[in-house]
Structure 1
Amino acid sequence: MNRAAAGLIAALLPMLPLIGQAQTVAPSVVQKSVVVTLDQEQLFLATQYGKALQAEFETSSAALLAENRKIDAELETEERALTDKRAVMTAQDFRPLAEAFDLKANGLRSTQEVKARDLAKRRDEDRQRFFQAVAPLLGDYMVERGAVAILDKSAIVVSLGAIDITAEVVARIDARLGDGSKPTDPPLQPQPQPTPTP
């Protein structure tokens, strides 16, 4: 903890009893705080939508890990067989086999690294899509609370629990978006076309 944060906490400690009293005596004042806080990670992992995206990522990660282990095992078996051949082959005859194996192994590992990067990119895109989808709900809830800003809870040193809107927003997102598999808005109805005049 840096000195600035420690100093802020030290300055706020004597006020904590008063803050607790203020929260008890006048909860309506806290409810209308101009600044509210949100735990973005909890919001993602606690909603049905976020859980569905996280489960999909974990399933893909497990499949890629199993594929990597299978490839490693096959390469290890092939390398042992190649080592056994080395004992009964001349260096000239063995060299092309060794070079072909190295080329194959490097190619497979490069392919798996690309898959891992693509998976990480897809995870980041999923999170971005999630927060884009919930942004209007956050904006509506912020207006209802009379707030003008939402701060990430991780950036706050000390705050009142009543200004944390994470749980309320999670419930609202679940009610509106579910697991994200269904469209949130009804499909547009085709508009009748005007009849051309003769």
Structure 2
Amino acid sequence: MFRAALCAACLGAAAYLPAAPVHAQQSLGFSLGETVGDARTASGQALRTIDDERLFRDSQFGQRVAEEIETASRALEAENDQLLEELTAREAELTEQRAEMTVEAFRAAANAFDVQAEEVRRSQAEKRQRLVQFEESERRRFFGSTTQVLQDVLENVGGQVLIDARAVIIGLPGMDMTDDAIAAMDDAIGDGGPAPFPLTLP
């Protein structure tokens, strides 16, 4: 009766994660089949690339966020299991009592049960969405702090132009500066400290 409605709230920890953002492809100024002599464009601008997903994921900040979400997800899963067990028991109880109840009494009890099950589903879905919102909020906070750090890293590695690594079709080893950027972000902001909007699941 309630199982289908509740299942969306009983997903595992991996289910909350939003899809990685899709970045627009950028032209590097050369075509497939063209020889790439070095990591520079025709205008002489030295190119460097960065994997912004790995920048976040492997930073102290991103690892702290992942740990907080993992802890909250496990707690939510345990709560889902408990609620499912309670609702299953209540459903079995109503089934046993049906023969002793009038049609009107059973209908009222069944309706009340459906309302309870729907409320559980809604509440747990809201908590799952809170995980998504927390992750998105912390990503915005992290990337809001990267501009000056990335500019400094780009200058230190001798680059002039920084592009998304996913926009690269052909590239030379050494173009990627993600590792340098991760180390610089760790030095600059560490794990970011307490989130302005803490992850709480009432």
TM range (shorter): 0.7 to 0.9
CA contact (8 A) 1:33 1:145 kept: no
Q: Which amino acid is 2:186 matched to?
A: D
Deviations 1:17-51 (A, max 9, x none): xx4xx58xxxxx79x95321101111111111111
Question: 2:57 — aligned with what?
Answer: 45
More helix by share: 1
Per mean C-alpha deviation after superposition, the further-off stretch among 145-154 and 100-109 is 145-154
Question: 1:133 — aligned with what?
Answer: 145
Cα drift, residue 132 of structure 1: 0.9
Question: 1:195 — aligned with what?
Answer: none
Where structure 1 has 5 or more consecutive residues not aligned to the other structure, the ranges are 1-7, 24-28, 183-198
Tell me how far apart the structure 1 counterparts of residues 185 and 142 of structure 2 sit (CA, whole Å).
10
**Corresponding position: 1:102 with 2:114:** yes
Question: 2:24 — aligned with what?
Answer: none
Cα drift, residue 146 of structure 1: 4.7
User: What is the correspondence of 1:1-198 to structure 2 with a 5 Å cutoff?
Assistant: 8-9=31-32, 11-12=33-34, 15=35, 19=37, 33-181=45-193
Cα drift, residue 147 of structure 1: 3.6
Tell me how far apart the structure 2 counterparts of residues 45 and 157 of structure 1 sit (CA, whole Å).
23
Deviations 1:163-197 (A, max 9, x none): 11101111111222222228xxxxxxxxxxxxxxx
SS in 1 for 2:171: coil
CA contact (8 A) 2:48 2:161 kept: yes
TM-score (norm 2): 0.72
Q: Between Structure 1 and Structure 2, whose CA radius of gyration is higher?
A: 1
Cα drift, residue 81 of structure 1: 0.9
Question: 2:198 — aligned with what?
Answer: none
SS in 2 for 1:120: helix
Where structure 2 has 5 or more consecutive residues not aligned to the other structure, the ranges are 1-30, 195-202
- Judged with a 3 Å threshold, the aligned counterparts in structure 2 of structure 1 residues 33 and 145 are, in CA distance, closer, same or farther, namely farther
CA contact (8 A) 2:59 2:185 kept: yes
Q: Which amino acid is 2:119 matched to?
A: G
